[in-house]
Structure 1
Amino acid sequence: MPRHEFQPGRLLAGLVLLAGGVLYLLDAAGERDVPWYLILPLAFGGLTLAALVGVTTYAVRRDREDRIRESSER
């Protein structure tokens, strides 16, 4: 199996949505009383943060590749 690059934005998005799902399941099971309006900001905020992390990761990788390309051309 070929290796792939680590993508922290996708990891963060998955963890946030997993947390939302666990909260929903706890509410459905009657273990916790989670208000419905808590899940939406959690998901929206988490996905926004994941997008920012993804864009930052992309920018850092692109800059690193540009530096490597410039040093190899010299």
Structure 2
Amino acid sequence: MRRHEFQPGRLIAGLVLGAAGVLYLLDAAGEADAPWFLVLPMAAGGLAFAAVVGMVTYAVRRDRRERITESSDR
């Protein structure tokens, strides 16, 4: 399998949505009392945080790529 680059934004999004899913499963099983007004903002905030992390990661990688091409052009 070919290696791919690490994408922390997708990891954060997966972890947050997984945690929200686990909370809903625990609520459905009667093990926890997770109100919707707690889970929805948690999921939305986690997705927003993942988007910010993804944009920062993209900007850092783009800057690094530009520096490499500038140094090879000299």
Instruction: Pick the TM interval, shorter chain.
Output: over 0.9
The answer for unaligned runs of 5 or more in structure 2 is none
In the alignment, which residue of structure 2 is the partner of 1:8? 8
Tell me the secondary structure at the aligned position of residue 26 of structure 1: helix
**Distance of 2:33 and 2:17 partners within structure 1:** 18
Amino acid aligned to 1:46 = G
**Distance of 1:54 and 1:34 partners within structure 2:** 28
TM-score of the superposition, structure 1-length normalised? 0.98
In the alignment, which residue of structure 1 is the partner of 2:73? 73
TM-score of the superposition, structure 2-length normalised? 0.98
The Cα shift of 1:36 comes to: 1.1
Query: What is the CA deviation profile of residues 16-72 of structure 1, one whole-angstrom value per residue up to 9, with x for unaligned ones?
Result: 000000000000000011111111101100000000000000000000000000000
Count of residue pairs the alignment pairs up: 74
The answer for unaligned runs of 5 or more in structure 1 is none
Note the aligned Cα RMSD (angstroms): 0.4
